[in-house]
Amino acid sequence: MKKITFSKNVFLPLTHVCGNACSYCSFKEPVADGCVMEPSEVKATLDRGAEFSCTEALFTFGERPELERGFNAHLQKIGYDSILDYCYDMSKYALSKGILPHSNVGIINEEEMSRMRTVTASMGLMLETTADVHAHRHSPGKDPAVRIEMIETAGKLKIPFTTGLLLGIGETREDRIESLQVIADIQKRFGHIQEIIIQNFCPKPGTEMADVPGATLDTVADTLSLAAEILPDSISVQIPPNLADAGRLLAYGVNDLGGVSPVTIDYINPEHPWPAIEELKTIAKGYKVRERLCVYEKYCTSEWIDESILPLVLDLKKRVYGA
């Protein structure tokens, strides 16, 4: 019986302030009181995640929020000069609770990635598309060349990595093919891409693209078929079960349903609740549903994981994978 995997996580958006301004995004919020998640709230969420046996702490925030005027003052109120320093310390707390951090924090440089590697089991950055789309015109961090460079740097640093495509934001089928080919090429050179997310854009009320229809089920299915043809078998293919009719898409080569939390909501798509973990068995009827870590089993080695967190990774590997 074919396996469908998922990760049991807690979602921690340290801030919604962002240096990008994508036309489809409702995650970004202005600088204001309360724009940084308090350390006490982060720790309480992680404590609760530990109680529910969560194994992944998904840390995210808007890209380079320090670029937004006034943000640093709010960061300094909680004792930090850098949002990445804050993420680093909260990642260490997650590790102390037996939860593996996965950071998806936008564009960071090689030095920053090297440092974060010592407190994270995996990292992520959506490529989204290699196309120059109108939706990204106010988002310097969404320059495809910049994002490709960071994905490649993660490979050089031996960081288990997640990337993906966002469908329906103005790209064409040819663009999707090119995006998949770029990811396939990077994987052949570095071997660090453990999964790719095929995510359909969902229009958000109040955004510039609120009236733009999201990608159809046929478009998602076609992209999954292309992924099966283009990507190496070493890359797992994920469909977010709260955004698409995953049950109808599993037959197109999907083998993962991503992170699902018994504790927190999907802060990127709050209008689309995650299914309960038990519901995954209904969605994946006919498949064996199996929990995984944020770092895939084959990457749970000293080659891919920093020595400071390897003992915890190996303990959780035994618990979750039974090996």
- Give the structural domain span for 101: 3-321
| Total count of domains within the chain | 1
Task: Give the closest residue to 162 by CA, choosing from 55, 295, 22.
Answer: 295
Report the distance separating Cα 250 and Cα 225, nearest Å: 11
**pTM metric for this prediction:** 0.96
145: number of Cβ within 10 Å: 7
Instruction: Give the SS3 label for residue 244.
Output: coil
pLDDT digits (tens, 9 = 90+) for 290-300: 999 999 999 99
Q: Domain holding 20: CATH number?
A: 3.20.20.70
pLDDT digits (tens, 9 = 90+) for 66-90: 999 999 999 999 999 999 999 999 9
Report the distance separating Cα 320 and Cα 323, nearest Å: 8
The answer, yes or no, to whether residue 147 has pLDDT greater than 80, is: yes
Q: What is the mean pLDDT of residues 26-34?
A: 94
